[in-house]
Amino acid sequence: MKIILFGAPGSGKGTQSTVLCDYFKLRRISLGDIFREEVKKDSELGREVKNYMEKGLLVPDELVSRIVEENVSGDNFLLDGYPRNINQAKTLEAILKKQGNDIDVFINLEVDEKTIIDRLSKRLVCKKCGVNYHLVNMPPKNDKICDSCSSELVQRKDDKPEVIKKRWEVFLKENKSLLDFYKKKNKLLTVDARGNKDEVFARIKDKLS
C-alpha cells in the first residue's frame, strides 16, 4: 500500500502516520523529519530550509524535489508532509512513474483553524529524539522532559501563534487545487481529524475498509 497523508500543520499527520505505519507495516517517509535532521546537522540544505521554516513559509519545490527523489521507492510506504501543492503532486507522479509506481490513496486530515492553533501552540518537541507532546492531549510524565530519552522538551519557533496563522494562510492558499487533483484521480479520502488520536485512527480505518 502506498499512502499520502495530508493535512494542515497540526492536523495530526505525525501522530497518525506513526499509527498507520505500525498497523499496515509501512515505511514512513516524513520530509519534515528529513528537513529537521538537515537543520540539526547545519548542512547547506539545512541552512536553506531553516530560513523558510522559522518564518512559517513552505520550502520551495526545487529544494523538496531533490529530497523526494532520493527517498521515495518501494511498494509499502506512507508519505507524510508531501506533496503540499499541485506542482509537487505532478513532480511526485513523474518520479513514481519512472519507477513503474503510483499512489493508492491520498488521505486528507480535515481540521479547522481553531483546532490548529490550539494544538500547535500547546505542542512540545524533544530536542534530541524529536518526539512530539501536547500539554493537554499527550503531556509528558515529567514537566518538559521527554518520556523516551529524558531530554528537554521545547516549543518549536514555528509553533508560536503568529507563525501558526501564517502557516494556516499558506496552507489554505495551496490545498484546494491539490485536493481536486487527487479527487479527479478517484484517490481522495477525507477524514475528520478533530478529536483524540484513537478516534481519528478509527475513522481512517473505517474509510480505508
Delineate the domains of the chain, giving CATH numbers in brackets. 2-111+173-208 (3.40.50.300)
pLDDT per residue over 21-38, tens digit each? 999 999 999 887 888 888
Taking residue 99's Cβ as centre, other Cβ atoms within 10 Å add up to: 11
- Who's near 24: CB < 8 A, 6+ residues apart? 1, 3, 76, 78
Q: What is the largest CA-CA distance in the chain?
A: 49
pLDDT per residue over 58-76, tens digit each? 788 888 888 888 788 888 9
Give me the catalytic one of 156, 160, 183, 197.
156
Whether 36 is catalytic is no
Mean pLDDT over each residue of the chain, to the nearest integer: 89
Whether 13 is catalytic is yes
Give me the catalytic one of 13, 36, 50, 119.
13
Are 88 and 31 in contact, with CB atoms under 8 Å apart? no
Whether 194 is catalytic is no
Per-residue pLDDT, 166: 85
- Predicted confidence band of residue 136 (pLDDT cuts 50, 70, 90): confident
Cα dist from 60 to 79, 103, 123, whole Å: 18, 22, 25
Quote the pTM value: 0.76
Cα dist from 199 to 191, 192, 193, 205, whole Å: 11, 9, 8, 10
Whether 27 is catalytic is no
Per-residue pLDDT, 96: 93
pLDDT per residue over 191-204, tens digit each? 999 988 899 999 99
Whether 156 is catalytic is yes
Give me the catalytic one of 36, 50, 84, 119.
84
Integer Cα distance of 4 and 116 in angstroms: 20
Which of 67, 51, 65 is CA-nearest to residue 158? 51
Give me the catalytic one of 36, 50, 119, 123.
123
Per-residue pLDDT, 178: 93
Q: Supply the DSSP symbol for 12.
A: S
